[in-house]
Structure 1
Amino acid sequence: MLKSFNFAAAVTVLGLGLGLAACDRMPIPQAEASPKQQQQEAKQKPEPRPHEGEASYYGSQFNGRKMANGERFNPNSNSAAHRTLPLGTTAKVTNLENGRSVTVKVEDRGPYARGRVIDLSPRNAEELGMKKAGTAPVRVTPVEVPERDARSGRGGESRQAQR
């Protein structure tokens, strides 16, 4: 009877030991998404595309006012206002009448005038050659788009826009 008891105890201990060994604490590596899943994910997050419309620039009454990102507007900055591009987006703005381009950073919302697609700082308007006229037809091409709006310096990781 003693031998069978020891045998049963040994089997029980062995079973418990194997059971505990199977409880590995190492994380299970995740498999890469299939190409089909990657395509579906890409479709869910479309990159902003270039678009055309009329640009205007901030009037002097906006100097020093807070923008949507919480910072104060500086007329000599590269700040721009756009209705839909995420805050923190870097974009190339090209004047379609003369071919001049500037690089701006979307830091505010607007413009709110009908038919306008972007408001620029007076400095950028001067560089584009549109300050005297007040408006100009432009192409806005996103260059670098953050994952989410960058508010008060707490933006997401940024990614290069597809061209």
Structure 2
Amino acid sequence: MKKIIAPTLLLFIFVFFASSFTSEKIIRSDKAKKSLQDTLTVDSVQVNLKYRPYKKAVHASYYHDRFNGRRTASGKRFDNSKYTAAHKKLPFGTKLRVTNPVNNKSVVVTVTDRGPFTRGREIDLSKKAFMEITHVKGRGFLNVNLETIKE
């Protein structure tokens, strides 16, 4: 009798864990479908935002405080307390939704500068935007997903 209980118990545990992972993926995929279109209220006017995937799992970092007040490539002054970003190729003024896939937090930033000029990095975020989505506050980089916003 004991020889039958152990394999049955192991089978039950395996099925239980496998089903919990499957349901989690279903829930996440439903959230992903729902998040493809959000609404934003600007000056009491409701705006529909549509997101177009740009790149997944890109390396992101944030600006150092010493760049505060300096001019960006677009001519605007950089402020680490705003939601801005630097990208090598995207046009200035492009709005991006940057999502941390680990905790599913996201922010919307505007491209105002060129860079980063470190090999392997795709985007530099302002410190405020970076700290809002990071899951480890002591680290200066993370992998994110990028989506362009189309109004």
Question: TM-score category by the smaller chain?
Answer: 0.5 to 0.7
Supply the RMSD in Å over aligned alpha carbons: 1.4
Distance 2:137 2:111 in 1: 19
Distance 1:89 1:124 in 2: 16
CA 1:70–1:112: 2 relative to 1, 3 Å: same
SS, match of residue 116 in structure 1: coil
Q: 1:54 aligns with which of 52, 55, 59?
A: 59
In structure 1, list runs of 5 or more residues that go unmatched: 1-47, 145-159
Kept in 2: contact 1:86–1:106 (CA 8 A): yes
Matches within 5 A, 1:142-161: 142-144=148-150, 160=151
1:58, CA displacement in angstroms? Answer: 0.2
Matches within 5 A, 1:29-108: 49-52=53-56, 53-108=58-113
Per-residue deviation, residues 86-131 of structure 1 (Å, max 9, x unmatched): 1000110001222110000000001111111110000001101254
CA 1:100–1:49: 2 relative to 1, 3 Å: closer
Kept in 2: contact 1:122–1:131 (CA 8 A): no
1:49, CA displacement in angstroms? Answer: 4.6
2:144 is matched with 138
Give TM-score, length-normalised by structure 1: 0.57
Q: Partner letter of residue 50 of structure 1? A: Y
In structure 2, list runs of 5 or more residues that go unmatched: 1-51
Q: Partner letter of residue 122 of structure 2? A: V
Distance 2:86 2:137 in 1: 16
Give the strand-richer structure, 1 or 2. Answer: 2
1:71, CA displacement in angstroms? Answer: 0.8
1:60, CA displacement in angstroms? Answer: 1.0
1:122 aligns with 2:127: yes
Kept in 2: contact 1:97–1:136 (CA 8 A): no
Distance 1:96 1:110 in 2: 23
Give TM-score, length-normalised by structure 2: 0.61
1:132, CA displacement in angstroms? Answer: 2.0
Per-residue deviation, residues 50-102 of structure 1 (Å, max 9, x unmatched): 10211000001111110011011001011100011110001100012221100
Q: Partner letter of residue 101 of structure 2? A: L
| Identical positions, percent | 43
Per-residue deviation, residues 1-32 of structure 1 (Å, max 9, x unmatched): xxxxxxxxxxxxxxxxxxxxxxxxxxxxxxxx
